[in-house]
Chain A
Amino acid sequence: MTDNLLLTTTVGSFGKPDYLTKARGQNARGKLGATELEELERKATAEWIRRQEDIGLDVLVDGEMYRGDMVAYFAERLEGFKIGGLVRSYGNRYYHKPVIAGPVKRNAPLTVTWFEYAQSLTSKPVKGMLTGPYTLLDWSYNEAYPTRRDAVLALAEIVRDEARDLERAGAKYIQIDEPAIHARPEEIEIAIEAMGIVTAGLSAKTISHICYGDFAAIYPQVLDLPVDQLDLAMANYGYRWLELFDRNAFTKELAIGIVDVHAHQTETVDEAAEGIRKGLRYVSAEKLWPHPDCGLKTRTVEECVEKCAVVVAATKVVRKELAKVPA
C-alpha cells in the first residue's frame, strides 16, 4: 500500500485568476466594495480547491486568493502595524513594506474564516497557513521595539494565538512560514525561540517553509526549529542542500521542492521524479512530501496547474517504483 507515502502538497499561494486581479485593482482604487471583492475571492478559492482535487494533490491549501503579500496581509490586520510606502522587491515588482509603529496586538482571528470556508469545500485536509514571527519582523521596518528579538517575541504570541484558533477550527496541519529565517544566521536562536512559543501545545502537524537564501548557513541548527516538517525549495538549487544531510542527518519530515516556481517552463515528470528519488536517499517515503519549491502566486493559473500536475505525476511514478520493491 503506497497511498500514504509521498503525500503531495503545495506551499500555499496560487496565481489569481484575471477577474480577481482586476477586482483587487478596482478595490484599491475605491471602485469596488469589500463585499463584492470577497465574493470573488470566495469564488476563486472554490475554483482552486476544485483544481487541487482534480490534479490529485493530497493535502490542500486555500490558495491565498484574499492575500496580496504574506507579511502585509497580517500587518494590515494587526494593531501596531501601519502600511508603509512602496518598495521594490525585484525587477518591476513593488510591495507595501509594513512598519511596526507601536506594540503589536491581535484583536480578532485573521485566517480562521478562510480556513473554515476552504475546508468546507473538500473532504481532503486543508493546511492552515501563517507567516512566522521572525519573517513578520524581518520583512517589516521596526520603529517600535528596542531590539529585533523583542519584536519577534511579541509577534510570536500573536502567531501562537492564531495557530491555536486554527487548531480549534479543525486544522490538522498548520504551516508557519519562515522564509526569512536565514536572513541573519546569527539570529537563528531568536527564530527558534519564537517558533517554540508558536507551536507549544499544538497537536496539529506543524510545518515551516523556508526558501531563497543560504540554507547551509543555518544547517544543522535549523533542525532545532520546533516544527514537525521543514518545507524547502530544492529544485531551484539543483538539490544541493541535500548534500548537507550527508554530514548531519536530517531528523524531521521533509517537504521537498521538485519544480522551480520562478521559471515559466516546468520540469519534465522524469526530472521531478528524479528529485523525489534524491530526497528518498535521506528521508523515508512516509516523511517525504513532494511539492513545488515555493508559493505559486507569481505564476498564471495555467502555469500553476501545470506545475502541480507534474508534481503529482512524478509522485505516481515513484510510488509505483516503491510498490515494486519488496518490503
Chain B
Amino acid sequence: MRTTVIGAYPKIGDALEAQELRRALHRRDRGEVGDVELDKVYDEVTRAAIGEIEGAGVDTVNDGQIRWDDLLAPVARSWTGVEQGPLERFYDNNTYYRQPVITGPITTTGQSLVRDYGFAKGVAKARLKAGVPGPLTFATLTARDDQYRSIEERTLAAADAIAKEIAGLAAAGARMIDIEDPAVVAAPKYIELAREAYARLADAGHALALVTYFFPADAVLESLASFPVGVIGLDVRSRETTAFERLDAFRTQYVLLGVVDARNTRLETAEEVAGYAERALKLLPQERLILAPTTSLEYLPRDIARAKLAALVEGARLVTGEKVPA
C-alpha cells in the first residue's frame, strides 16, 4: 500500500533550534541578513522536511513547500501580470493567503518552481514529486482582475501559465506533479470550466494528480473520473462524504485518498487508517490506491505532523500485512 504527502510541511517546530527560519525571516526584515543567507536557511529547512517525511517511511515525498507562504504565493510572486493583494482566510482555515491581483496579461517563463525542485531532487532519496497550484483555485481566489473579462478567461489564462510551469518542472526531471486545486470541490459549479482548463495541462509524458481537499467531491466525483489526469486526490475526512461508495467511478485513475486528518491534532491509530483503506479497497484495486494526509500537514504543529505520518505509514503497512520496522 503506497503512501504520499500533500502540499506544505510545517516550516518550524516548537523547539527553539527548530525555529531557524522564523528567526532568519525576522533578521531579514530588520535588514540584518541578506537573501543569500536566507536562501541557505530555506534550503536547510527544506532538507530537514524531506528528511522527516522520508524518515517516517512515506513512499513518495515532496519538498515540503518551505518557500511557499501560501498555495498561490509562488506563482503570484513570479508571474508577470500578477501581484500579491490583500490577505484573506484560506477556505475554512484560520490561515491566511494573499489574494492575487491581476494587472495585465499573465505570462511566465515556466521556471517559477524549477530551482526548488532541483534542490529537492539532490536531497531526496525516496521518489520525489513536484506541486503547482491549480488553475481554478487561482482564478476563484483572485481579488481583482483588470485584464480578463470573465472567470472563464481568467481560469484558462492561469491554466496556460500552469501548463508552462508543468513543462518546466518536467524538463527538470519531475515525473509526478500534484496540481492542488481545492476550488474544484469548493466551487463545483465550475466543474466544466475546470475540465477545459485541465485539458490544457494534460501531457502523457508525466503523471498529473488533481488534488482536492477540505470539501467532499460528492457533487463532481463522476466528472473527475473523466478528467485527463492520472491521479485524483480526495479528502474523505474533513466532512461527510459518499466517496467510499462511489470509488468504482475511477476505472483507470489512481486515487490518492486523504485518510489522516491534517487539520486536527487527534492522532489516528494505525487500525483506523487501515480501516479507511479497507473501505476504499471494496471498490478500488490496491495497486490504484495511495494513502495520504487530507491536505498540507502545515496546519499542524511539527511534532504532530511527524506523528500523523507515522500513523499513515503504519496503517498502510497494516493493510498489506507488512511488518512495521521498530
Contacts and interface: CB of A to CB of B under 8 A. Distances in A.
Interface stretch (A17-25, A40-48, A89-97, A201-209): A89-97
Given A85-B304, A88-B298, A141-B264, A94 B12 contact: yes
Contacts of B87: 90, 212, 262
A89 B94 CA distance: 7
A253 interface: no
A99 interface: yes
Interface string B88-116: 11001111110000000000000000000
B301 A84 contact: yes
Interface in A150-196: 180, 183-184
Contacts of A99: 265
Contact of B94 (A84, A91, A94, A138): A138
Interface in A109-148: 138-139, 141-143
B13 to A, nearest CB: 8
Contacts of A142: 264, 266
Nearest to B21: A92
Contact of B69 (A85, A90, A212, A260): A90
A83 B226 CA distance: 45
Nearest to B93: A183
B26 interface: yes
B125 interface: no
B11 A88 contact: yes
A1 interface: no
A87 B96 contact: no
Interface string B57-99: 0000000000001100000000000000011110011111100
A296 to B, nearest CB: 15
B303 interface: yes
B25 interface: yes
Contact of B266 (A87, A94, A143, A260): A143
Contacts of B95: 87-90
A87 B299 CA distance: 6
A84 B10 CA distance: 14
Contact of A94 (B22, B88, B97): B22
Nearest to A69: B94
A119 B92 CA distance: 36
A244 to B, nearest CB: 17
Contact of B96 (A89, A94, A138): A89
Given A88-B95, A91-B69, A141-B264, A212 B89 contact: yes
A213 interface: yes
Contacts of A138: 92, 94
B302 interface: yes
B309 to A, nearest CB: 15
Nearest to A187: B92
A183 B90 CA distance: 9
B301 A90 contact: no
A97 B305 CA distance: 14
A266 interface: no
Contacts of A86: 12-14, 301-302
Given A85-B303, A92-B26, A183 B12 contact: no
Given A88-B11, A89-B95, A143 B265 contact: yes
A97 B302 CA distance: 12
A90 B26 contact: no
B86 A236 contact: yes
B207 interface: no
A139 B92 CA distance: 10
B202 interface: no
A84 B89 contact: no
B314 to A, nearest CB: 19
Instruction: Please indicate which of the listed interface residues B26, B94, B301 has the most CB atoms of chain A within 10 Å of its own CB.
Output: B94
Contacts of A89: 94-96
Given A141-B264, A212-B87, A97 B301 contact: yes
Contact of A90 (B13, B29, B92, B97): B97
A85 B19 CA distance: 12
A203 to B, nearest CB: 32
B300 interface: yes
A183 B264 contact: no
B12 A213 contact: no
A119 to B, nearest CB: 30
Give the top 10 A-B pairs by smallest Cβ distance, nearest first. A85-B301, A90-B96, A141-B265, A183-B92, A143-B266, A92-B25, A85-B14, A139-B94, A141-B264, A212-B89
25 contacts: A84-B301, A84-B304, A85-B13, A85-B14, A85-B301, A85-B302, A86-B12, A87-B301, A88-B11, A88-B298, A89-B94, A89-B95, A90-B69, A90-B70, A92-B22, A92-B29, A94-B12, A141-B266, A142-B266, A143-B265, A183-B89, A183-B93, A212-B96, A236-B86, A262-B86
Interface of A: 84-92, 94, 97, 99, 138-139, 141-143, 180, 183-184, 212-213, 236, 260, 262
Given A87-B300, A92-B25, A141-B266, 6 more contacts: A84-B304, A85-B302, A85-B304, A86-B302, A87-B298, A212-B89
